[in-house]
Amino acid sequence: MATSTVGAAIAVKDLEIRIRGDRGSYPVVADMALTVQPGETLCIVGESGCGKSMTALSLLRLLPEAASASKGTIEINGEDFLAMSQHRVEDLRGVEIAMIFQEPLTALNPVLTIGEQIAESVRRHKKLGHKAAMARAIETLQLVQMPDPARRAMQFPHELSGGQRQRAMIALALACDPKILVADEPTTALDVTVQAQILGLISDLQKRLGTALVLITHDLGVVAEVADRVVVMYAGRRVEEASVYDLFEHPIHPYTLGLMGAIPRPVAGRPATDRLVDIAGTVPPPWDLPKGCAFAPRCPRASARCLEERPPLEEKRPGHFAACWEHVDG
């Protein structure tokens, strides 16, 4: 583990997620380990298909039917979430851990008003009556800066704008004061102005409430704004982990350097006039990973060893971990 699990809000150890399909069973996430302390923001970043969202869904035991956590543990308050009964899991969702989904229009119930959906969660977990639960729903909508919260509580998801639906989704997640919040690409479908508002809102609420935040994103610009620590994933595995400052100032893994080169803004070590650089090739499918390092076929530094041996995640600098045989310490 890169950080101590003592006092952690959530600790994941040796997690493997497998999918069953026409090609048999194969891992889409392997050797995943992470810890998040109360009040800390951990960002998991990588290209589409790298296993970020599968990792996020596993934290709430919401994996699709064809997927399963085949090994590892997810500890919340010292209890293994993966080993709990379904009834116990449902008791903890919303109170201990909650999720903000990427597309609220599909995550919210279309036949219930926003207020009813939030109140339903509050009634179940807080054991409040209908009137008190609805008052809490409006209070939570006000907390996430929903305009005219009492009126919005009476509206259905399709009657709200994209930004308002995302605020409603955040309110639903926060209604029972969870200790852990998982946000999967929460601003992808929003315009830049609303995206900044939503990210600022999540960050402010998280710091005010002391919530541990796991934020899934492909956008390193977002990472730079909100993260305390960063995990970079590639082909289902961690390839780098560090504090946000150290990652941006001294990136180690060639994949991380490739992601940095594709950011359309000035980055430390790269003049603002430089052209953006894409990463050649494509991510290998999980059922056909290379023998050695999964990034080796795309890596400009790859050696014969990279093609034959998978590098372990090792501490290259104090608190800075990377999985690379041919790294150059930045």
Asked if the structure places residue 248 within a domain, the reply is: yes
201-223 pLDDT, tens digit each:
888 878 888 899 999 998 888 89
Asked if residue 82 is part of any domain, the answer here is yes
Do both 187 and 303 map to the same domain?
yes
Q: Is residue 330 domain-resident?
A: no
Residue 329 lies in a domain: no
Answer yes or no: do 188 and 42 share one domain: yes
Least Cα distance to 115 among 91, 149, 145, 143 occurs for 149
3-state helix, strand, coil in the chain (%, to 5): 35, 25, 40
Residue 48 has pLDDT above 80, yes or no: yes
| pTM of the model as a whole | 0.90
pLDDT surpassing 80 at residue 273: no
Sheet (strand 229-234) strand order: 97-100, 180-184, 212-217, 41-45, 229-234, 237-243, 320-322, 314-317
Average pLDDT, the chain: 88
Q: Which has the closest alpha carbon to 56: 289, 218, 176? A: 218
Going by pLDDT thresholds of 50, 70 and 90, the confidence category of residue 188 is: confident
- Could you tell me if residue 4 is inside a domain? no
Q: Which residue has 């119930």 as its token pair?
A: 109
Closest among 221, 199, 227, 226 to 266, alpha carbons compared: 221
- Are 239 and 308 in a shared domain? yes
- Looking at the structure of the chain, the number of domains it has is 2
On whether both 282 and 213 belong to a single domain, the answer is yes
Q: Are residues 187 and 250 in the same domain?
A: yes
Among 124, 151, 177, give the residue marking a domain's end: 177
CB 173 within 8 A of CB 143: no
Residues 166 and 194 in one domain: no
CATH of the domain at 56: 3.40.50.300
pLDDT at 1: 46
Mean pLDDT of 23-48: 93
Distance CA(306)–CA(188), nearest Å, equals 34
**Residue 264 clears pLDDT 70, i.e. is over it:** no
Among 143, 177, 211, the domain-final residue is 177
The reply to whether 3 falls in a domain is no
Tell me which residue of 59, 143, 150, 155 sits closest to 101, measured CA to CA. Answer: 59
Q: Once rounded to an integer, what is the mean pLDDT over residues 164-180?
A: 90
Rounded to an integer, what distance in angstroms lies between the CA atom of residue 176 and that of residue 318?
38
Burial 152-175 (b: 16+ CB within 10 A, else e): bbeeebeebebbbbbbbbbbbbbb
Q: Is residue 128 located within the same domain as residue 189?
A: no
Range name among 186-200, 209-223, 260-274 with the lowest pLDDT average: 260-274
Give the Å distances, CA to CA, from 190 to 34, 136, 172.
Answer: 28, 27, 19
2 part of a folded domain: no
Instruction: For the chain, give the percent of residues with pLDDT over 70.
Output: 92
Residue 92 shares a structural domain with residue 217: yes
Q: Which residue is listed with tokens 């999918």?
A: 19
* Model confidence pLDDT, tens digit, residues 76-111: 988 899 999 999 999 899 899 999 988 888 889 999
- Same domain assignment for residues 184 and 309: yes
Final residue in a domain of this structure, among 158, 177, 196: 177
Give domain status of residue 327, yes or no.
no
Q: Which residues of 99-135 are buried (b: 16+ CB within 10 A; e: fewer)?
A: bbbbbbeebbeeeebbbbbbbbbbbbbbeeeeeebbb
Instruction: Look at residue 68 in the predicted model and tell me its pLDDT.
Output: 94
**pLDDT tier for residue 186 given thresholds of 50, 70 and 90:** confident
Mean pLDDT of 251-275: 73
| 155 and 72 in a common domain | no
Question: What pLDDT, on the 0 to 100 scale, is given for residue 277?
Answer: 66
Domain range for 213 = 10-96+178-322
Same domain for 158 and 15, yes or no, is no
**127, 226: one domain:** no
Q: What is the DSSP letter of 44?
A: E
- State yes or no: pLDDT of 54 exceeds 90: yes
Q: Is 253 helix (H, G, I), strand (E, B) or coil?
A: coil
Q: What's the pLDDT score for residue 282?
A: 84
Residue 196, pLDDT above cutoff 90: no
pLDDT of the residue at 195: 79
CA distance 142 to 204: 14
The reported pLDDT for the residue numbered 163 is 86
